[in-house]
Amino acid sequence: MTIANNIKAIKATLPENVTLVAVSKTKPVSDLLEAYETGQRIFGENKIQEMADKWEEMPKDIQWHMIGHVQTNKVKYMAPFVQLIHGVDSLKLLKEINKQAAKNNRVIDCLLQIHIAEEETKFGLDQEELTVILTSADLQEMHNIKIVGVMGMATFTDNQNQIKKEFQQLKSIFDQAKTQQTNNCHLEILSMGMSGDYPIAIDCGSTMIRVGSSIFGGRN
């Protein structure tokens, strides 16, 4: 299978309301261009420097999504162009994104990352921490960010029931958080599902899937 065929095959199965993020981390620009030729315009990267390099090289009508954990001191390198930051998990990080977005006269869309997996290592907020952020007075002062949804990763396991349970949990957190909408907070995007579990995620209400290896092949 070629990259183009992989993308077409995945897109053919997606409901209309589900957006495909092509996760191109570690892959060369030539691979991304092959995806681009099929009409794919949304790419996800997990390292800011790598994303910035690819942004410079690739056509300018691409939307770049940062899907990895973000270090505060590196926000400035993506602030001029990033379309959506998936992995936001603190007010401190939101403040920095707001500051750098303001410097660039932009409003940057963010997703809050929720911890749903069993593994301790994965980043993210629990429901209580999410509520603290959504209701904080600080957030109301941040005019250069917009919280547009939540993101999560299920446990890396073959147990489909467990994955389903975790995605259902995230969907219910998302639905509840939607009732806390404020000025700069309009939750519309539920980012969940990767190569191994995106069909389950879609069944559970995902509106955005992040697919890497099923498009570009395995990573070293």
Ligand X SMILES: *Cc1c(COP(=O)(O)O)cnc(C)c1O
Residues 6+ apart with CB under 8 A from 131: 177, 180
**Of 214, 218, 212, whose CA–CA distance to 24 is shortest?**
212
Q: Name the closest residue to ligand X (Cβ).
A: 212
Q: Is 80 in the site for ligand X (CB under 6 A)?
A: no
Q: State the minimum distance, in angstroms, from the CB of residue 217 to ligand X.
A: 9
Residue 145, CA distances (Å) to 119, 185, 197 in order: 30, 9, 30
The radius of gyration of the chain from alpha carbons, rounded to an integer in Å, stands at 17
What is the DSSP track for 187-205?
A: EEEEE---TTTHHHHHHTT
Q: Where are the alpha helices (DSSP H) in 46-159?
A: 48-57, 75-78, 91-103, 127-134, 137-140
> Which of 82, 93, 147, 194 is in the footprint of ligand X by CB under 6 A?
194
Q: Is 54 in the site for ligand X (CB under 6 A)?
A: no
Question: Which of these segments, 9-17, 95-103, 159-167, 212-220, binds ligand X (CB under 6 A)?
Answer: 212-220
Q: State the minimum distance, in angstroms, from the CB of residue 102 to ligand X.
A: 27
What single DSSP character describes residue 7?
A: H
Residue with tokens 């809050």: 112
Q: State the minimum distance, in angstroms, from the CB of residue 103 to ligand X.
A: 26
Whether the Cβ atoms of residue 34 and residue 8 lie closer than 8 Å to each other: no
Q: State the minimum distance, in angstroms, from the CB of residue 195 to ligand X.
A: 3
Q: Is 212 in the site for ligand X (CB under 6 A)?
A: yes
Q: Is 67 in the site for ligand X (CB under 6 A)?
A: yes
> Which of 72, 178, 195, 205 is in the footprint of ligand X by CB under 6 A?
195
x/- string (CB under 6 A) for ligand X, residues 28-47? ------------------x-
Residue with tokens 């681009």: 36
When the beta carbons of 98 and 214 are compared against ligand X, the nearer one is: 214
Q: State the minimum distance, in angstroms, from the CB of residue 75 to ligand X.
A: 17
Residue 33, CA distances (Å) to 59, 67, 163 in order: 9, 20, 32
Q: Is 6 in the site for ligand X (CB under 6 A)?
A: no
Question: Which of these segments, 119-127, 142-150, 166-174, 206-214, binds ligand X (CB under 6 A)?
Answer: 206-214
Q: Which residues bind ligand X (CB under 6 A)?
A: 23, 25, 46, 67-68, 153, 194-196, 210-214
